[in-house]
Amino acid sequence: MSVKIKALTKSLWVFHLSTASCNNCDIEILDLLTPRHDVERFGILLVGSIRHADVLLVTGILNKQCKPIVKKMYDQMPKPGFVIAVGTCTAGRGMFSNTYMVDEAEPLDKVLPVDAYIPGCPPKPEAIIDGIVKLVKAKGK
């Protein structure tokens, strides 16, 4: 298992799942791929299907409609894989803790095993890179 994980951290393929988010984190994630930050230099690639992905990047709060979908998505992901919670909403629901749409939903870590949290509203691209680097360092030992 540990060899597999070590190999995995060399080139992370990321699937980006936007639950009920406000778009900001999603845009910052897309921003990572564009010339100023360009994370493809490090082998990080955004893929179109969860079945090709090593990392599930979740943004937004989990409302009643998204919660079952997120679970389904995680089940389809090849294991071992990582889950990263991007943004305050995913990590702790933020200002949406009291809305009627999420009273049954929990923060992401009650639904899936989360490997890294990147807080911020939205986190800056540098913060997202930092989060991923920390994850890779911790897992790739």
Partner 1 sequence: MSHKVTIPIGPYHPLQEEPEFYKLVVDGERVVDIDVRIGWNHRGIEKLSESKSFDQSAYLVERICGICSTSHPIAFVNAVEDIDEMEVPERALYIRTITGELERLHSHMLWLGLAGHFLGYNTVFMWAWRYREPILDVLEAISGNRNNYAMMKPGGVRRDIDNSEIPYYKKVINDELLPAVEMFKGAVLDDPVLAARLKGVGVLKHEDAVDYSVLGPTARASGYDIDVRRDEPYAAYDRVDWKVILQYEGDVFAKAVIRILEMFESIKILNQCFDKLPAGPIDCKPKHISPGDGIGHHEAPRGEVIHIVRSDGTNRPVRHKVRAPTFMNFPSFKKTVVGETISDATIILAAIDPCYCCTERLTAIDHKKNNIVCGAERLIHLSQHKTWDLGKSMGFSDSELTKKMGRKIE
Give every CB contact of residue 136 below 8 A, 6+ residues apart in sequence.
Answer: 9, 12
Q: How far is the CB of 64 from partner 1 (least distance, A)?
A: 9
Which amino acid would we find at residue 67? K
Asked whether position 61 contacts partner 1 by CB under 8 A, the answer is: yes
Q: How far is the CB of 4 from partner 1 (least distance, A)?
A: 25
Please report, for residues 35, 100, 101, 108, the alpha-carbon distance to residue 84 in angstroms, rounded to integers and kept in the order given.
Answer: 23, 25, 23, 9
Options 1-9, 56-64, 107-115, 128-136: segment touching partner 1 (CB under 8 A): 56-64
Q: How far is the CB of 68 from partner 1 (least distance, A)?
A: 11
Cis omega (within 30 of 0) on the bond before 122?
A: yes
Query: 137 - beta bridge partners?
Result: none
Query: Among residues 6, 7, 11, 34, which is the contact residue for partner 1, using CB under 8 A?
Result: 34
- For 22-99, where are the alpha helices, taking DSSP H only? 24-33, 66-76, 88-92
* CA dist., res. 57 & res. 13, Å (int): 10
Asked whether position 3 contacts partner 1 by CB under 8 A, the answer is: no
Query: Among residues 14, 17, 85, 118, which is the contact residue for partner 1, using CB under 8 A?
Result: 17
Asked whether position 14 contacts partner 1 by CB under 8 A, the answer is: no
Which tokens sit at 53?
């992905």
Options 1-9, 78-86, 100-108, 131-139: segment touching partner 1 (CB under 8 A): 100-108
Residues binding partner 1 (CB under 8 A): 16-28, 30-31, 34-36, 47-49, 60-61, 63, 65-66, 69, 73, 95-96, 98-102, 121-122, 124
